[in-house]
Amino acid sequence: MPETKIFSGSNTPLLAQSIAKSYGQALGDLTLAKFSDGEMSPSYNESIRGCNVFLVQSTNPSADNLLELCLMIDAAKRASAYKVCAVIPYFGYARQDRKDRPRVSIAAKLIANMITSAGADRIMTCDLHAGQIQGFFDIPLDHLNGSAIFVPYLKSLDLGNLIFASPDVGGVGRTRSYAKHFEVEMVVCDKHRKRANEVASMQLIGDVEGKDVVMIDDLVDTAGTMCKAAQIIMDKGASSVRAIATHGVLSGKAYDNIENSVLSELVITDTIPTMQTSSKIKVLTVADLFAKAIHAVTGNTSISSLFI
C-alpha cells in the first residue's frame, strides 16, 4: 500500500495539523515561499514519490488560497506522487453555481476545472453550498456532512421544545434532514434579496411559539440574513434561537451583527479560521471527520459510516 502523507497550505494550518494528528502522523515538510512581488512557489522538502498525498487547503477568497492549492497539486504531480487528493474543507466560490442573471460567470464550475487541470486525482470537501457542484468534477469527490459534528452537540444541549428553521427556501432540504433525524417540525424564513448580502424582505412560514429554534445553514457570511431571521423568530414568540453553520466566512460586520443579535449562540466549524473571538460564537472541529475519511480512502473502505 502506498505511503500516506498530509501537507498543509497557508490558509488552514491549524486544522491541517489537527487532521494529521487525528490520522496518526505529523504534517509533511512543505515550504511555501514567496517572491517579493507576491508570486508563490511551494516546494516539498521530502520525497513523495509513489505516495498518496493529501493537501489541506480551504479556498475561501482571496484567490491566493486557490492558486496556492493548484501550485501545490502541480508540484506534487511533478514530484511523482502516486495520487493527489485536494482536501478542501471550505470550497470557495460555491455560491456562484449557476447563471441566475445574464452575463455572469459560473465560478464554481471554473474552480472545479482549475483544480482538476492542476492534476488533482480526488477531492474531499464538506457541506458544499449546493450539492450538485459534485457534478462539476469528473474525478472522485468525497462530500462530507457537517451533521456528523453538529448532531451530537445538539443532543448534548437537550433542548426541550426543539424545532428547526431554514433561513431561506434554498436550505429547506438541509434543514429537513435535521428535523427528520430529531423527529421534530421545521419552519422556513422566506426572504427576498435586492442584491448580494442585502435582504429586502423576510417572512416566517410556520409556528415557533414557545419553541427552542435552531437555524441550519451551510455558511454564514455577513450574518445579516441570519440575525434578521433570528429577530423575526423571537418576535413570533420563540423561547430561544440559535444557529448552526458549517462554514464561518464572517466578513464585513458579521461579528458585530452576531454580538448585537438575539441569537443565543452561533455554532460553526474550523473549516475557515476565525479572525476574532466572540462570546456568542462556538467553534467545533472537523479534524476527526476528515482524518477518518482519509483513513477510509487510503484503506479503500466505505465512508458511509461517517454520515448521520
- Which of 5, 83, 191, 228 is catalytic? The answer is 191
Q: What pLDDT shows up at residue 73?
A: 98
- Amino acid identity of residue 79, one-letter, is A
d(CA 164, CA 216): 7
Q: And the C-alpha cell for 283?
A: 467553534
d(CA 100, CA 129): 15
Beta bridge partners of 245: 217
- Amino acid identity of residue 133, one-letter, is I
For the stretch 248-302, pLDDT in tens is 999 999 999 999 999 999 999 999 999 898 999 999 999 999 999 999 999 999 9
Average pLDDT, the chain: 94
**What domains are defined for the chain?**
4-145+287-306 (3.40.50.2020), 147-284 (3.40.50.2020)
From 50, 9, 43, select the one nearest 27 (Cα to Cα): 9
In this structure, how many other beta carbons lie within 10 angstroms of the beta carbon of residue 143?
16
Q: And the C-alpha cell for 141?
A: 469527490
Give the gyration radius of the chain's Cα atoms: 20
d(CA 155, CA 152): 5
Name the DSSP letter for residue 237.
T
Say whether pTM exceeds 0.85: yes
Please check the confidence at residue 197 and state whether its pLDDT lies above 60: no
The mean per-residue pLDDT over the stretch 13-18 comes to 98
For the stretch 18-44, pLDDT in tens is 999 999 999 999 999 999 999 999 999
Q: What residue has cell string 472522485?
A: 140
The DSSP H or E segment spanning 53 is: strand 52-56
d(CA 130, CA 180): 20
d(CA 249, CA 270): 10
The mean per-residue pLDDT over the stretch 61-66 comes to 93
d(CA 294, CA 52): 10
The mean per-residue pLDDT over the stretch 211-218 comes to 96
d(CA 291, CA 24): 9
d(CA 242, CA 35): 45
Name the DSSP letter for residue 265.
-
Share in percent of the chain as helix, strand, coil (round to 5): 35, 25, 40
Q: Is 280 among the residues known to form the active site? A: no
